[in-house]
Structure 1
């Protein structure tokens, strides 16, 4: 998964890009962690652990050090495989949390939605 000017997840109708007015301190306020390469990364669970002990689905969002490009993926709890949360009823809660997170990032002027 490489950085891109805009990202689109399979099954999602929205395309996202980095807001040109994003500030580094806003990323810190929203719990983005700075990587060794200077990029900003946010990993957040989209659903609680279930009773069988399987890991939660998580969203991973990375913004390049120059605040121009991003990467976005929905992953298993281990972070090793991608998951399509836009199919089936089993991910209804995860979809709701995903849309809430993305809307919050738009309101905080981190992302723009096309």
Structure 2
């Protein structure tokens, strides 16, 4: 998946866009790690029950130029993409995703718009 300035996950209520004013120190302050390629990556496990280690892996990767990003939600192994937004999907995991993304919107990393 290529880096895009705006990402809309399948069946998600919102699309997210990287803000043009985001700074590298803001990413590091919000627990993004610098990869060997110079990109910024945030990894979180979306779990229904905290500390159960049973959930889905969320990865947000922002390119080194800070003008594109990608969001992947996979199974625990990180190999298979998962759609957590299916109509019969787990509401708790969806809420945790929206909470995390809202916190990144509040910190000026992303903007969101309803589809």
Task: State whether TM-score is above 0.5.
Answer: yes
Residue by residue, what CA displacement relative to the aligned partner does 1:16-57 show, whole Å, maximum 9, x if unpaired?
Answer: 11111111111111111101111101110111465xxx7421
Moved over 4 A (4+): none
The aligned counterpart of 1:91 is: 90
Count, aligned residues: 111
The aligned counterpart of 1:26 is: 26
The answer for unaligned runs of 5 or more in structure 1 is none
Distance 1:106 1:11 in 2: 19
Q: Which is strand-richer, 1 or 2?
A: 2
TM-score, with length taken from structure 1: 0.89
Residue by residue, what CA displacement relative to the aligned partner does 1:66-112 show, whole Å, maximum 9, x if unpaired?
Answer: 10000011111111111111125552111010000000000000001
Root-mean-square deviation (CA), in Å? 1.6
Distance 1:75 1:107 in 2: 25
The answer for unaligned runs of 5 or more in structure 2 is none
Q: Does 1:113 align with 2:112?
A: yes
SS in structure 2 of the partner of residue 106 of structure 1: helix
Distance 2:66 2:46 in 1: 24
